[in-house]
Amino acid sequence: MKEDLDKIKLSAKEWQEEVVNPKLEKYKLEKCPTRFYTPSDLNDFNFFEKVGFPGQYPFTSGNDPVPRWQAFAEAEAKASHRFEWGAAASSGAGKYGGFGTPKDYRDYLLRMHEIGRKAGPNFAFDLPTQCGYDSADPQAEGEVGRVGVAIDSFRDFEVVYEAYTGDLNIDKVASNFTTNAQAIVIIAMYAALAQKRGIPLEKLRGTPQNDVLKEYVARGTYIYPPRPAMRLFRDTLVFCTRHMPNFNITSIGGYHMREAGATREQDLAFSMAIGAAYLQTGVDAGLDIDSYAPHFSFNAFGGSMEFYKEIAFQRAARRMWATMLKERFGAKKKRSMLVRQMAGAHMGYINATLQRPLNNLTRAVIGGMACGMSGGIPFGAMPPWDEPLGLGHSLEAQQLGHDATRIMIYEAKLGEVLDPWAGSYLMESLTDEIENAAKDEFDKIDKMGGAIAAVENGYMHQAIAKSAYERQKCIENQEQFIVGVNCFTGPHELEVMTERSVSGVYSDKLMATAEERQKSALAQLKKERNGKNVSRTLKDLESAAKKEEENLMPFIIECVKSYATLQEICDVMREVFGEYHPGAM
């Protein structure tokens, strides 16, 4: 075999000199715009070590030999079943949403139930809630209920869940919470609600995002310094593992970093480093890795228009995560080693353009094809084509997205072959390249002391900021082309549009009055609650927060039950832990 590889390398050199270089000279090119892969690019390729079978370690070729969506594809087509987020209570949480006051969101959920969408709530919280402020705080002015629902207290939480009783009680539906810095308080509210309704905690299902480290790197909705924030992560991890075993612990958001400007390799390396920090937190707390790792998920990562590389990225991610769980953490259960995420490869929402937006359908289909070829469902609506045009995807855009998915499944038959690129010189080489580059970056972070240290010293944030600058510079200098944005923008190009019917999901009238209504409800709560009980539970929390070994979840549950507000709870911990202030770039 070595002799064959040597022969191929020699032939490749001759081909470059005799065939390729004359072409480059003819076209006056300094660099070849194409590449050809051969067996010499693979270097001692071992199928079992590098790929394996779908559903078996190292999961490069996919998590499942018979994906659920593929198992029922024929039956769904014959029944003309239309997929809708939240169409069935048993299907998990419904479509991501939330606005205005708790009553506004409750009423929206009830309207969804009337049209058959009976899955659990998938909370979007407004920015004050995400940052641990009540609606009456001066810093919340102008933001209450804008990008999500305002939740100031357990009473607000109870109001939302008035939509979920009887056959839709919280032991029968799953709930998702896009919450990070104050995730422990929101999870405490969920636990308190179950206790109040007499529902055992072990019956609760759902997923909090609970990925605070990426907030320091990308999104910015942090509250406390990283190490106290990781203590709160520890407390949620331990509490949920012991008392809420059907509840996920975190949904790691690598795509948030990608959208902030991270390169493909940074996205993968930083996601793995952050995941390793969370996993190590459980180990340090004395838990068995297989008791909690199966409850780690990924919100999403990856996301670009580079078709081959996005497929390779997903393959490398599965292999890298599985290898880390097995070799570094000693996991034994298969489920502990899986990258669990909603989809897979995708175009990246940030790549949807406002200019000539119908082109986004083409982009989404390319992302869906990459997903279908890398272990996921070929989803043609990530996102619908009118994503950049504002809140609310039109019915027409949703229809085209649905049909794009169906055409890829039923006509192109993308699901018939699992990991069709397995063994390809191109794909195996690309997968190795991406994994090796991510490993180098991961090892660099490891030598700093891990993800927490790389947040504290500003390394990850600065690296992403630099990459974002470089990407934008490439677009502006036409080193990277985006059709209709920085190329093919002449007067003869057409702006093609279609009808857009957008249902009134969020009432302008309700949005305009949400802040005053929410502040009024908060003032009323403070008049009605038992002030002494609130003070007692907050003092108990303060004492516990000063003791590193104490798990704060039981104390926060008691605060929640006393109707202490979100900010009152967070302020107690602000006093003990301090607040995070990023250093200069």
Of 297, 293, 292, which Cα lies nearest the Cα of 240? 292
Please give the pLDDT value at position 300: 84
| Helix, strand, coil in percent for the chain, rounding step 5 | 55, 5, 40
Confidence (pTM): 0.95
Q: How far apart, in whole angstroms, are the C-alpha atoms of residue 584 and residue 368?
A: 40
Q: Which domains does the chain carry?
A: 47-510 (3.20.20.240)
Task: Please name which of 295, 314, 199 lies closest in space to residue 240, comparing C-alpha atoms.
Answer: 295
CA gap 353, 374 in Å, rounded? 25
Beta-bridge partners for 122: 176
Quote the pLDDT of residue 507. 80
Per the document, the length of the chain is 585
Task: Give the DSSP letter of residue 34.
Answer: -
User: Can you give the pLDDT at residue 89?
Assistant: 52
pLDDT attached to residue 84 = 65
Q: What is the sign, positive or negative, of the torsion defined by CA atoms of 157, 163, 165, 168?
A: negative
The pair of three-digit structure tokens given for residue 164, joined into one six-digit string:
């979920």
- Is 240 in contact with 557 (CB distance < 8 Å)? no
Tokens describing residue 474: 């490439």
**223 Cβ contact list (under 8 Å, min separation 6):** 131, 132, 181, 182, 229, 570, 573, 574, 579, 580
How many whole angstroms separate alpha carbon 373 and alpha carbon 61? Answer: 10
**φ, ψ (nearest 5 deg) of residue 217:** -90, -35
| Torsional sign, CA 256, 258, 262, 266 | positive
Question: What's the pLDDT score for residue 502?
Answer: 72
Tell me which residue of 422, 449, 439 sits closest to 320, measured CA to CA: 439
- According to the model, what pLDDT value does residue 4 have? 85
Q: What residues pair up with 120 in beta bridges, in sequence order?
A: 93
Compute the distance between CA of residue 330 and CA of residue 555 in angstroms, rounded to an integer: 33
Nearest CA-CA partner of 278 in 247, 251, 245, 302 = 251
d(CA 257, CA 263): 9
Which pLDDT score is estimated for 583? 73
Q: What is the overall mean pLDDT for the chain?
A: 94
Q: Exposure string (b/e) for 153-180, b if CB count within 10 Å is 16 or more?
A: bbbbbbbbbebbeeebebbbbbbbbbbb
Of 310, 351, 211, residue with least CA distance to 270: 211
Alpha-helix residue ranges (DSSP H) falling in 244-376: 254-260, 264-284, 289-292, 307-323, 359-372
What's the pLDDT tens digit per position in 513-565? 999 999 999 999 999 999 999 999 999 999 999 999 999 999 999 999 999 99
pLDDT at 327: 98
Of 463, 361, 378, 365, the C-alpha closest to 415 is 378
Q: Residues 6 or more apart from 459 whose CB is under 8 A from it?
A: 445, 448
- Alpha carbon distance 472, 468 (integer Å): 6
**Do residues 93 and 175 lie in contact, with contact meaning Cβ atoms separated by under 8 Å?**
yes
Under-50 pLDDT residues of the chain:
585
Distance from C-alpha of 276 to C-alpha of 274, rounded to nearest angstrom: 5
Residue 251 DSSP SS3: strand
Pick the closest to residue 178 from 208, 201, 204 (CA basis).
208
Cβ proximity of 106 and 62 under 8 Å: no
Calculate Rg over the CA atoms of the chain.
25
Q: Which residue has the tokens 């919340």?
A: 140
